[in-house]
């Protein structure tokens, strides 16, 4: 296996007759248990990505807003139509109806994959309202509601302190959950344990779990982001190249623990910042969900990954300095690095929640501009 000059990236290029061939993602699909989901519900992107092997898709408020803006003529018309037929609807209600419609349309495209994988893949991941991040009851109720929008929906719930009970309850109600706003091994363990409790309650009552496919996201790029912010705030001196490995290290450790304990939840890698968030975590029974632009970039690169890279241990020359000098990284890396009561107010959680909450405001603003146009412009 060839390595780059830094000795870090575990990839090689595959040539046939001097030309780059084969999709790296198709190679991954054929040579590992790891599957690819698209980090967007945009129908045009989904149809393209299906050609190189995606078997699912994720969405969040930021992504949904981008998809609505990408096909502005269609969605602006739908806003006007909905507002006209629902005269008492608020901007927020109109916005969420559009998110639901976008998600239903995307789910329809993925139905063949859903049938092929008996419910384990072929799912569209829709996000619960991030404004409810402190309300377990509302999160569980909305998860049940959203799961009924299409047979292949999987529903995102943020991994806050208050939401842990929502994972158990939604799972018990038959919802396939996608835990999001997650950055630490401790969060992934809490989610997996909650899901196991929900699955066991269903099993004890003879309820079917055969087509349930829970996943727990680690936002690997946002792990990197928070480590870099922490280094900047504390002024610690450390090789900046090693910081690009923070999310990979957390994912590898979580994967090891999931495998040892036999959890029925799969890990999912999201929030890409570099190719290692794909190439270095392949091989496990897991999901990798890059944005469409990253998929195009990787496909064009001709990079062929090590199909079992997730099992390779971290270089101690990279890992140990981060563990020794960056307390916030250790909180994310160690299995007991965070207590459940610390999840909500953890820095990476707050940064991401603020972004998601802002996107809800931006969605309402978009609806306002279309349905109550500014007469001064």
Q: Could you tell me the residue ranges of all domains in the chain? A: 11-370
Measured at the CA of 282, the angle between CA 279 and CA 283, to 5 degrees, comes to: 155
Return the pLDDT at 14. 40
Burial class of residue 17 (count of CB atoms within 10 Å of its CB; 0-12, 13-18, 19+): exposed
Asked if residues 221 and 288 have their Cβ atoms less than 8 Å apart, the reply is no
pTM above 0.85, yes or no: yes
Return the pLDDT at 375. 95
Q: What is the largest CA-CA distance in the chain?
A: 65
Give me the long-range contacts of 17-23 (CB less than 8 A, separation at least 24).
20/302, 21/302, 22/304, 23/52, 23/53, 23/299
φ/ψ region of 148 (left if φ > 0, alpha if ψ in -120 to 50, else beta) reads: alpha
Return the pLDDT at 9. 33
Domain 11-370 classification at class level:
alpha beta
Residue 45: partners with Cβ closer than 8 Å, 6 or more residues away: 38, 292
Return the pLDDT at 377. 86
Q: How many Å apart are CA 12 and CA 288, to the nearest integer?
A: 19
In the predicted model, residues of the chain with pLDDT beneath 50 are: 1-21
């Amino acid at each position: 296996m060839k390595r780059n000059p830094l000795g870090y990236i575990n990839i090689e290029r595959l040539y046939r007759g001097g030309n780059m061939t084969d999709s790296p993602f198709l190679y991954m699909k054929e040579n590992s248990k790891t599957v690819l989901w698209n980090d967007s519900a945009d129908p045009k992107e989904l149809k393209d990505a299906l050609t190189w092997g995606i078997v699912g898709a994720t969405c969040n408020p930021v992504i949904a807003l981008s998809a609505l803006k990408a096909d502005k003529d269609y969605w602006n018309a739908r806003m006007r139509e909905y507002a006209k037929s629902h005269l008492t609807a608020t901007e927020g209600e109109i916005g969420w109806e559009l998110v639901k419609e976008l998600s239903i349309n995307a789910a329809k495209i993925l139905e063949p994959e859903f049938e092929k994988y008996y419910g384990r893949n072929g799912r569209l991941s829709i996000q619960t309202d991030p404004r409810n991040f402190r309300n377990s009851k509302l999160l569980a109720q909305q998860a049940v509601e959203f799961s009924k929008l299409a047979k292949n929906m999987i529903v995102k719930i943020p991994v806050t302190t208050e939401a842990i009970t929502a994972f158990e309850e939604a799972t018990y109600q038959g919802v396939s959950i996608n835990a999001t706003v997650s950055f630490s091994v401790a969060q992934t363990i809490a989610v997996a344990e909650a899901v196991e409790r929900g699955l066991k309650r269903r099993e004890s009552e003879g309820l079917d779990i055969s087509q349930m496919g829970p996943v727990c996201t680690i936002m690997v790029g946002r792990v990197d982001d928070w480590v870099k912010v922490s280094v900047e705030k504390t002024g610690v001196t450390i090789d900046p190249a090693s910081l690009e490995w923070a999310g990979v290290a957390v994912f590898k450790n979580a994967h090891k623990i999931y495998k040892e304990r036999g959890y029925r939840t799969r890990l999912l890698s999201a929030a890409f910042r570099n190719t290692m968030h794909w190439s270095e975590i392949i091989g496990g029974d897991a999901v990798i969900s890059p944005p469409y632009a990253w998929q195009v970039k990787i496909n064009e690169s001709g990079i062929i990954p090590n199909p079992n890279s997730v099992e390779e241990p971290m270089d101690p020359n990279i890992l140990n300095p981060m563990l020794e000098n960056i307390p916030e990284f250790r909180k994310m890396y160690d299995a007991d690095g965070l207590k459940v009561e610390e999840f909500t107010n953890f820095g990476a959680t707050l940064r991401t929640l603020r972004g998601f909450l802002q996107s809800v405001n931006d969605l309402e603003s978009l609806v306002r501009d279309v349905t109550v146009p500014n007469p001064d412009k």
